Amino acid sequence: MKGFDALLAAPLATIYACIIAMICSKQKFSTVIDHAIDNVKEIQVALFILMAAYAMAEAFMSTGVGASLILIALKVGITAKTVAVVGSYSNIYTINSNWNKLGEHSQLVHLSSCG
């Protein structure tokens, strides 16, 4: 399909997702659209936080603050191995807490699934 780009694919995918959601959840079109708009609002907040974090990182790196923080961390004794260990433990904790939340809300997941 020549000329098929994101400006055409995004609305088609949204309409297709709404149709599938209407069939699976047996809800009206307006309800599905309201839920979609709420989800987009949450995504916008997350993207704004990422944008602000990128701006802070850019400011730190361009002024030399980032390099000085890295040098201070190296002098204190923080290495890539210690960061990797702490990161892996925090990921395991996050996965376990999300798994527990999924168990608490399993009824909601079951009710919202197709079938």
Token pair 């603050």 is found at 65
Higher pLDDT, 52 or 1: 52
**C-alpha dist (Å) from residue 9 to 1, 5, 12, 18:** 11, 6, 5, 14
pLDDT band at 114 (very low <50, low <70, confident <90, very high): very low
pLDDT of 18 strictly over 80:
yes
Query: The tokens of 89 are what?
Result: 């433990």
Terminal alpha carbon distance of the chain: 34
- What digits encode the pLDDT tens for the residues 84-98? 777 777 767 666 665
Tell whether pTM > 0.75: no
